[in-house]
Structures are given as C-alpha cells and as structure tokens.
A and B are shown apart, each in its own frame.
Chain A
Amino acid sequence: MDVATQILISGLTLGAIYAVSTIGLALIYGALNMLNMAQGGLLALGGYIAMWGMQAMGWPAPVAALAAMAAGTLAGGMIFVAAARPMLGGEGFETRIFIATIGIGLMLESVILKLFGPQPQAQSLKLEGGFMLGRVSLPLQNILIFVTALLMLVLVAGLLNRSRLGRAIRATSMNRDAAQLMGVPIRRIYLTILMLSGALAALSGIMISSMSGLLPNMGADPMLKAFIICVVAGLGNVPGAALTAFAIGMLEAVIQYIFGVQYAFAILLCLVIAVLIWRPQGVFGQKEVVRL
C-alpha cells in the first residue's frame, strides 16, 4: 500500500511535468509540422530565470515564475520571427526548421553557460516541507507541481475548445488552406502557438529543476521524453499528448521502483518501440492526413 502510494505520487508528478512541456510541442507540430528542437533550451531558460529572479533580484516566487514564463514567451516568439517565418512555405521546411531550432537550442544553452556557469545549482523556486500520508511523505513541492500543471492543462483546454483563438488554432492544425479561406491569419496563429509553447516550456523547466536542480543542459533528457510522448500519442495530438504524458510518468515511476532509476529510460524506450510497432501512427493518432 505504501509502495503504491509512493509510486502514484512520483508518477503523477513526473506526468504533470511532462504534460506541461509536451502540449506545447504537440501544438507546434500540429499547426506547423515543425519539431521544435530548441525546447530543451527553453526548459533551461525557464529554470534559470526563475532562480535568478529570486536570488539576484529578490523577487517573490510567483513573480519569478511569471518572469520565467515571460522570457519563454519572448524566446518562443523570436524562434518564429527569426527562424520559422522566413522558411515558411519554402522547400523542405520540416528539415530546415529542425536544424535551425537545434542551433537555437544550443545558443540558448551557451548563453546560460556563460551567464551562470557550468556547475549544478539548486532551484530557489521550491516549496520545502510536506506531510505524512500514512507512512509515506508527501512533499509540498510535488503537490505544487501537480496543481500548477492541472491548472495549466485546464487553461489550455479552455483556450483551445472555448475561445475564438482556440478554434482558429484547431482549424489551422486540421487544414491550413481551409483556415486561411475562413479568414484566419495563420502566421499570427503560428506566432501565438510558439509564444504559448515557450511559456509552457519555461514553466516545465522550473518544475524539472525544482526536482533535479539546474544545469545548462538540463533540458536535453526532458526534451527527448517530450518528443517520445508526442510520437506515442500521435504527432500533433494535444489532448492525447497530455494523457500520454501522465501514462508515461506513471510507467516511469513503476519501472524506477522495480528496476532502479538507471534502467528506467532504456526500458521505457523499449516499451515505446513496441507501442509504435503496434500502432505506427501513435496511440491517439489518425492515419496520416494528406495536406493540400
């Protein structure tokens, strides 16, 4: 019983962290057919800005978190303006933006390295303490992560399903040409999606670093996992990505408990490959939609 509770807590926490960063990637892929390889850099950016805001500027935690998300928004917007927009509609957009965003991610990491140094640091934005659930301790930080993530998912779901902007985003993802014929300014939609995804990545970066600390390349593994989640869910499927994130988080917690942390990623990958052999288009994916 205690073990199950322990696994549940760490699985839900991992799932929450993954979900927040993955829905951004899924939105971007769905609308632009773009794999944003700068995601890792955005995660680190969020983590470091939050720490810097509290340490160097003395901001209260919520202000530091908002500042980190603002920085992520700005960085996401710049990725669109500087890299994606000039390439849109050109030959081989998918490949070129893939390479370009790898470069942007590396640049972000180098700047962080230059400013903050290569040594691991602790995330200041973190709740200490917790309480006991039977004989299992439930850290407040885990609760904070879970509640924040849930709040974010509800906000994004509300945006996508209930607002005019959300309908325009879904329309653009389903059919670019048709969306334009309805009067949707798709470039502005792309920009909005990248900014939103930047903010979500920054938030996820704070969560990750509050659990495992800050490093300039702290985003590399989480980014890989986020892409795996996207592929397992079916590329571009946003609700599917959120659900899959929690499933993968739980699975990872179970594997970690049974086999140990060092094997978790490898075993997870094997399972993922098995899933993709069974359903190449992803668990929630449709058969490839032909775009005109």
Chain B
Amino acid sequence: MSLLEISGLEVAYGVQRVIRGISLNVAEGEFAALVGPNGHGKTTVLRAISGLARAKAGGIRLAGQPLTGLRPDRIVAAGVIHVPQGDLLFPGMSVLDNLRMGAYLPEAARDEAQRLDEIFTLLPKLRDRQSQIASTLSGGERRMVGIGRGLMAGGRILMLDEPSLGLAPIVIDQIYELVQALAKSGRTILVVEENAIRIADMADRMHLLDNGAIAWSGTGREFLSSPEIFATYLGG
C-alpha cells in the first residue's frame, strides 16, 4: 500500500486552474521526485498536500487517513513534513530557535534534545552556528537549517521543494548527498526539482508535471530515455 495517495487532485487560484486532476502515489520508504519546468504547478501540489493551498477536488491520503480539508497544523501532526521553496526560515530567530520550531508539536518536542543531536551529527556545520541569527546565514547554510528544521518534526514523509534552488553546484551536490543519505536511512521522500536530469539517477520514481497534469511516471532510468521529457521541457 502507498503511504501517500493523491487522486484526481485539482487546485485553482481564483478562476485559474493550476492543477488539473493529478494522481500519484508514494510508497513507504520510496524516494520520489516530482519534476517539471518553472510555473507548471510543482509547488502548488506540495502546498495542497500540506494544506496551505485548498484542493478544489480530489483526495489526499496519508497511510489511508484522508488529509483533504484539514488545517495545516493537523496535517503536520499526521506526519507530513514540508520544507518549502526558498526555505521560509524565521529570519529574526537564531539557528537553534529555528530548529526548535521544527519540533513545535508536543510529540516532537518530547524528543527535542535527541533530535537536535541527530541533526547536528548530520549537519555538523549547524552545531557551530546555533546562536547565529537566521537572516545572516549564507544560502547553503539556510538550506541546511530549512531541511534540519523539517527533520526536527520527525514525520512519516519528507517533502522538499527545490532543495537545489539558488545554490552553487558544489553546494547542490552536498545537499543532494544529504537527501540521498536520508533516503538510504529509510525515510520516505518526495522531492520537487526543476532540473529533471539532476535527480533521475537518484530517485526511485519520477513524476513529470506538465501544465498541471502528470505527463509521465516511471523509474529514473526509464525517464532519461523517454521522449515526453523533451516534449515537456522544450515544447512548452
């Protein structure tokens, strides 16, 4: 059975339909990727899953439990972790306070000290920068805090929206090494990525979003040889 099940999801901003009935499943322990060109609705899909955007139609379930219509805080409590595009850190808070906000919910707060330790082991750079104010961090450090803050919540599925956005190539490699390590440790991951080629040999499963609809789904290897990718990226 799939951990995350999306069926016939539609999202509109005003009269503009941005997501036009997509269905996709993410299995427990799977590393899934949602790819597609700019503005085709990748972020909107994640926002609908985490409740920040309202679904107009369709269903979203986590381990069989329906999420549609729930408020975002209930969806987080159910186990959906969303690391948003552009990090959205709390700029006036220290790195430590940002991370602690990740463990805001009581269940996560109980293990706060232990989780902090795990995250500092995973991202040693953050240990030295605990007291630095988030708005003064570099882009790469910010991304690490964003991901670390998400990990603090625990959760059952980790959704990352463009973890490579705006970073230098060497930092992108570091971030994706981290994501791969998380995937290897058994976490269920759904990554949104604009650059499909970058992620094709890492992901277990790829979903290509073309104008608010899933144009193609399959394994990363199949993806590289499928003609749809060229139609979507070059055909516009």
Contacts and interface: CB of A to CB of B under 8 A. Distances in A.
Interface of A: 164, 167-168, 170-171, 174-175, 177-187, 289, 292
15 contacts: A170-B92, A170-B93, A171-B93, A174-B93, A177-B52, A177-B84, A178-B90, A181-B50, A182-B104, A182-B105, A184-B73, A184-B104, A185-B73, A186-B73, A292-B86
Given A167-B97, A168-B104, A171-B101, A180 B92 contact: no
Task: State the main secondary structure of chain A at its contact with B.
Answer: helix
Contact of A167 (B52, B77, B81, B101): B101
B144 to A, nearest CB: 16
Contacts of B71: 180, 185, 187
A174 B94 CA distance: 13
A182 B71 CA distance: 12
Contacts of A184: 73, 104
A181 B160 CA distance: 12
Most buried by B among A168, A177, A289: A177
Contacts of B124: none
B207 to A, nearest CB: 22
Q: Which 10 A-B pairs have the closest CB atoms?
A: A180-B72, A178-B88, A183-B76, A183-B105, A174-B90, A185-B73, A182-B104, A183-B73, A182-B101, A183-B104
A180 B71 CA distance: 9
Contacts of B97: 167
A175 B85 CA distance: 13
Contact of A178 (B51, B73, B84): B84
A179 B91 CA distance: 12
A141 to B, nearest CB: 37
A183 B71 CA distance: 9
Interface string B92-127: 110001001110110001000000000000000000
A174 B109 CA distance: 21
B101 A289 contact: no
Contacts of B189: none
Interface string B53-92: 0000000000000000001110011000110101011111
Most buried by A among B52, B104, B109: B104
B153 interface: yes
B76 A178 contact: no
A178 to B, nearest CB: 4
Contact of A182 (B51, B76, B86, B92): B76
Nearest to B90: A174
A187 B71 CA distance: 10
Contacts of B50: 181
